[in-house]
């Protein structure tokens, strides 16, 4: 089995499995976040957030999720580094070819998954510091509990988006990076798992675009919605 | 046509190479790219200079020898053609054309534009074959194969092993080549004898020889002179992953 994981396809297999698992998490995350849009009192979102932090199933899944993310990052770094070493820069420094024209033959997104992934990680660290860290560890005056012990996560989230425009901009950029990453990532995962063929290639391509629009667009929409609503 | 050529010159495999600029006149639009290179070499020989070394053989798009990256694209502009099928009509009077060899660690440059592609032969020797009975030839069509399967196997078998997929790939991955070679056997009953071992052995050999891994960008498919599809890579992945699980199950027994 160790041979399998060390092989080029085995490494990509791990990337696909962890990637698809992270997408499942993102879909749940977006579903919870969408309550911000549907209920302006914030009660729905607070209850959902409370459920997500206290539910025993989520408590089990949380470390698995963290492990999935770390494996996805670690393997991506190893694969990217190894691939950089394997391509030749035959006597001409860092540039492999004097001229290379591949804009018509492949998409920019597909060639720069690692750069997009790095952008997402930078965003993720700021995002966790903004909300997750405060809710889980340090606490925040805005999070004041109600009579049922439910924290006011809605206040924390909306006040951040209303008070600081740069946070909204950062979240939109993060969401776009995520959308672009998934635009190639989703179909690529299915291709690597070997599920693609003439017919299913088109279906996976379409599904990938659909998922990237839903997640990228959805996560960009929520901070914009909160900000614009406060301005009108 | 008058053209300016910037060509990679490298005297020996380990020696440092550099781009040389050549000016060439009276290039006919009806010439192929290789004929233009021939006329450049004639001129260089007359001037008592070292002609540009480049690989060529059949000059009809079957042998896969003419490996050149022309203006940043393996086999030059145009789809599903080799360099020998590239017509000078694709260029304009006064153009500057940059010609480079495949730049792949596993394909070391022998001289100028010629690279050593024996890494592909090592991959083939690792599993790209079928067991066959000796003796008299079997009757034609004695094995029934559905049309769609035979068509797809034939599409994969069209691979000429030119290496454009590796040259085009940002990771120097040989996945499209290996996928074509595995696919052409995996689809047919004749290839079942070696079964999953073939995919396993060929991929392991590919990794060992220093080719990169696949990130599904699709550059290989777009540059392949035979138009071999990425779906063959999915089949290779499928075969390899199955082989991995079979191996794991066998180890646990």
- Take residue A64 and report the two structure tokens written for it: 């698995």
- Take residue B168 and report the two structure tokens written for it: 């085009």
Report the alpha-carbon distance of residue B76 to residue A100 in Å, rounded.
11
Report the alpha-carbon distance of residue A122 to residue A178 in Å, rounded.
12
Q: What is the mean pLDDT of residues B73-82?
A: 94
- Take residue B176 and report the two structure tokens written for it: 């499209």
Instruction: Give the pLDDT score at A41.
Output: 84
Class of domain B3-110: alpha beta
Q: What is the mean pLDDT of residues B21-46?
A: 96
Contact state of A193 with B171 under an 8 Å Cβ cutoff: no
In this predicted structure, which of A82-96, A100-114, A174-188, B134-148 has the lowest mean pLDDT? A82-96
Contact state of A110 with B217 under an 8 Å Cβ cutoff: yes
Report the alpha-carbon distance of residue B40 to residue B43 in Å, rounded.
5
B206 CB neighbours in chain A (<8 A) are 8
CB atoms closer than 10 angstroms to residue B98: 17
CB atoms closer than 10 angstroms to residue B89: 12
Question: Would you say residue A44 has pLDDT above 80?
Answer: yes
A87, containing H or E segment: none
Give the pairing of strands B18-24 and B69-70: unpaired
Question: Would you say residue B21 has pLDDT above 80?
Answer: yes
CB < 8 Å from A in window 63-122 of B: 69, 71-73, 98, 100-101, 103-107, 109
Q: Report in angstroms the alpha-carbon separations of A28 from A23, A24, A215, B229.
A: 9, 7, 10, 35
Instruction: Give the pLDDT score at A147.
Output: 66
Which tops the pLDDT comparison, A153 or A189?
A189
Q: What is the mean pLDDT of residues B78-95?
A: 95
Q: What are the residue ranges spanned by the domains of chain A?
A: 2-89+108-231
Fold entry, domain A2-89+108-231: 3 helical TM bundles of succinate and fumarate reductases (1.20.1300)
Predicted confidence band of residue A96 (pLDDT cuts 50, 70, 90)? confident
By three-state DSSP, how is residue A229 classified? helix
Contact state of A89 with B103 under an 8 Å Cβ cutoff: yes
Q: What are the residue ranges spanned by the domains of chain B?
A: 3-110, 118-252
Nearest-CA distance A173 → chain B (Å): 23
Report the alpha-carbon distance of residue B32 to residue B52 in Å, rounded.
16
CATH superfamily label, B118-252: Alpha-helical ferredoxin (1.10.1060.10)
Instruction: Give the pLDDT score at A153.
Output: 87
Give the pairing of strands B3-9 and B96-100: parallel
Question: Would you say residue A86 has pLDDT above 80?
Answer: no
Question: Would you say residue B196 has pLDDT above 70?
Answer: yes
Q: Which of B173, B234, B157 is nearest to B207 (CA)?
A: B173
Question: Would you say residue A144 has pLDDT above 80?
Answer: no
CB atoms closer than 10 angstroms to residue A66: 10
| DSSP class per residue in A65-118 | HHHHHHHHHHHHHHHHHHHHHHB--TTSTT-SSSS---TTTS-HHHH-HHHHHH
Query: Which strands make up the sheet holding B3-9, listed edge to edge?
Result: B18-24, B3-9, B96-100, B69-70, B73-74
B230 CB neighbours in chain A (<8 A) are 191, 196, 201
Phi-psi region of A93 (alpha: psi -120 to 50; beta: other; left: phi over 0): left
Q: Which of B44, B53, B10 is nearest to B24 (CA)?
A: B44
Which residues, 6+ apart, have CB-to-CB distance to B8 below 8 Å? Answer: B17, B18, B19, B99, B100, B101, B112, B113
Contact state of B203 with A8 under an 8 Å Cβ cutoff: yes
Question: What percent of chain B is helix, strand and coil (3-state, nearest 5)?
Answer: 40, 15, 45
Report the alpha-carbon distance of residue B164 to residue B172 in Å, rounded.
10
pLDDT digits (tens, 9 = 90+) for A160-171: 898 888 899 999
Residue A8 in contact with partner chain B when CB distance is under 8 A: yes
Are the C-beta atoms of residues B191 and B198 closer than 8 Å to each other? yes
Contact state of B217 with A3 under an 8 Å Cβ cutoff: no
A96 CB neighbours in chain B (<8 A) are 103
CB atoms closer than 10 angstroms to residue B235: 22
Q: Report in angstroms the alpha-carbon separations of A204 from A13, A28, A173, A198.
A: 17, 21, 25, 11
Nearest to B219 among A89, A98, A102 (CB): A102
pTM: 0.93
CB < 8 Å from A in window 175-234 of B: 175, 203-204, 206-207, 210-219, 222-223, 229-231, 233-234
Which position has the token pair 């690792």?
Answer: B126
Contact state of A86 with B212 under an 8 Å Cβ cutoff: yes
Report the alpha-carbon distance of residue B220 to residue A67 in Å, rounded.
33
Q: In this structure, what is the dihedral angle of CA atoms B50, B55, B58, B63, given to the nearest 10 degrees?
A: 180
- Take residue A11 and report the two structure tokens written for it: 């490494």
Nearest to A198 among B69, B73, B231 (CB): B231
Which tops the pLDDT comparison, B205 or A81?
B205
Phi-psi region of B78 (alpha: psi -120 to 50; beta: other; left: phi over 0): left
Nearest to A97 among B69, B229, B238 (CB): B69
Q: What is the mean pLDDT of residues B219-246?
A: 96
Question: Would you say residue B157 has pLDDT above 80?
Answer: yes
In this predicted structure, which of A129-138, A206-215, B168-177 has the lowest mean pLDDT? A129-138
Nearest-CA distance B138 → chain A (Å): 32
- Take residue B175 and report the two structure tokens written for it: 């996945």
Radius of gyration, CA atoms only, chain B: 21
Question: Would you say residue A92 has pLDDT above 70?
Answer: no
Instruction: Give the pLDDT score at A94.
Output: 55
Instruction: Give the pLDDT score at B102.
Output: 94
Question: Would you say residue A101 has pLDDT above 80?
Answer: yes
Q: Using H for helix, E for strand and C for coil, what is the string for A2-52? A: HHHHHCHHHHHHHHHHHHHHHHHHHHHHHHHHHHHHHCCCCHHHHHHHHHH
Question: Would you say residue A152 has pLDDT above 60?
Answer: yes
CB atoms closer than 10 angstroms to residue B4: 13
Give the pairing of strands B69-70 and B73-74: antiparallel
In this predicted structure, which of A92-106, B168-182, B231-245 has the lowest mean pLDDT? A92-106
Q: In this structure, what is the dihedral angle of CA atoms B79, B84, B90, B92, given to the nearest 10 degrees?
A: 150
Closest-CA residue of B relative to A186 is B216
Question: Would you say residue A93 has pLDDT above 80?
Answer: no
Q: Report how many Cβ contacts below 8 Å link chain A to chain B.
A: 160
Nearest to A98 among B73, B100, B109 (CB): B100
Report the alpha-carbon distance of residue A109 to residue B122 in Å, rounded.
33
In this predicted structure, which of A138-147, B41-50, B147-156 has the lowest mean pLDDT? A138-147
pLDDT, averaged across chain B: 94
Contact state of B19 with A83 under an 8 Å Cβ cutoff: no
pLDDT digits (tens, 9 = 90+) for A173-191: 999 999 999 999 999 999 9
Residue A98 in contact with partner chain B when CB distance is under 8 A: yes
Which tops the pLDDT comparison, A138 or A31?
A31
Report the alpha-carbon distance of residue B59 to residue B36 in Å, rounded.
13
CB < 8 Å from B in window 197-216 of A: 197-198, 201
């Amino acid at each position: 089995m160790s041979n399998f994981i060390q092989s080029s396809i085995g490494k990509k297999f791990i990337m696909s499995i962890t990637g698809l698992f992270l997408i499942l998490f993102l879909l749940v995350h977006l579903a919870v976040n969408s309550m911000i849009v549907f209920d302006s009192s914030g009660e729905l979102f607070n209850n959902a957030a409370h459920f997500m932090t206290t539910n025993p199933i989520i408590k089990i899944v949380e470390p698995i999720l963290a492990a999935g993310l770390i494996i996805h990052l670690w393997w991506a770094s190893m694969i990217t580094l190894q691939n950089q070493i394997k391509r030749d820069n035959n006597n001409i420094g860092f540039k492999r070819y004097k001229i290379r024209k591949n804009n018509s033959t492949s998409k920019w997104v597909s060639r720069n998954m690692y750069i997009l992934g790095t952008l997402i990680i930078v965003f993720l660290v700021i995002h966790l510091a903004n909300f997750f860290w405060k809710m889980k560890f340090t606490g925040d005056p805005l999070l004041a509990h109600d009579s049922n012990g439910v924290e006011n996560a809605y206040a924390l989230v909306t006040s951040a988006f209303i008070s600081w425009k740069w946070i909204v901009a950062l979240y939109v950029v993060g969401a776009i990076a995520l959308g672009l990453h998934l635009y190639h990532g989703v179909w690529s995962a299915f291709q690597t798992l070997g599920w693609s063929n003439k017919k299913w290639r088109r279906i996976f391509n379409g599904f990938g675009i659909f998922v990237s629009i839903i997640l990228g667009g959805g996560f960009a929409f929520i901070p914009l919605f909160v900000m614009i609503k406060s301005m009108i | 046509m008058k053209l300016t050529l910037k060509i990679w010159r490298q005297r020996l495999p380990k020696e440092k190479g550099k781009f040389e600029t050549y000016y060439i006149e009276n290039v006919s639009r009806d010439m192929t790219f290789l004929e233009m290179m021939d006329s450049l070499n004639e001129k260089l020989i007359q001037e008592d200079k070292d002609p540009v070394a480049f690989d060529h053989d059949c000059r009809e798009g079957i042998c896969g020898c003419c490996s050149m990256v022309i203006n940043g694209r393996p086999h030059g502009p145009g789809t599903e053609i080799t360099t020998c099928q590239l017509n000078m009509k694709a260029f304009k009077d006064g153009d500057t054309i940059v010609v480079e060899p495949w730049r792949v660690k596993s394909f070391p440059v022998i001289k100028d534009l010629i690279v050593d592609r024996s890494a592909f032969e090592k991959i083939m020797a690792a599993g790209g074959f079928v067991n066959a009975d000796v003796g008299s030839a079997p009757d034609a069509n004695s094995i029934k194969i559905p049309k769609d399967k035979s068509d797809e196997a034939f599409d994969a078998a069209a691979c000429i092993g030119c290496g454009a997929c590796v040259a085009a790939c940002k990771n120097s991955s040989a996945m499209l080549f290996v996928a074509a070679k595995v696919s052409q056997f995996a689809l047919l009953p004749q290839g079942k004898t070696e079964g999953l071992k073939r995919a396993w052995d060929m991929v392991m050999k590919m990794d060992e020889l220093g080719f990169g891994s696949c990130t599904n960008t699709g550059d290989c498919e777009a540059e392949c002179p035979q138009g071999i599809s990425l779906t063959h890579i999915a089949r290779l992945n499928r075969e390899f992953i199955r082989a991995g699980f079979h191996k794991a199950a066998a180890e646990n027994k």
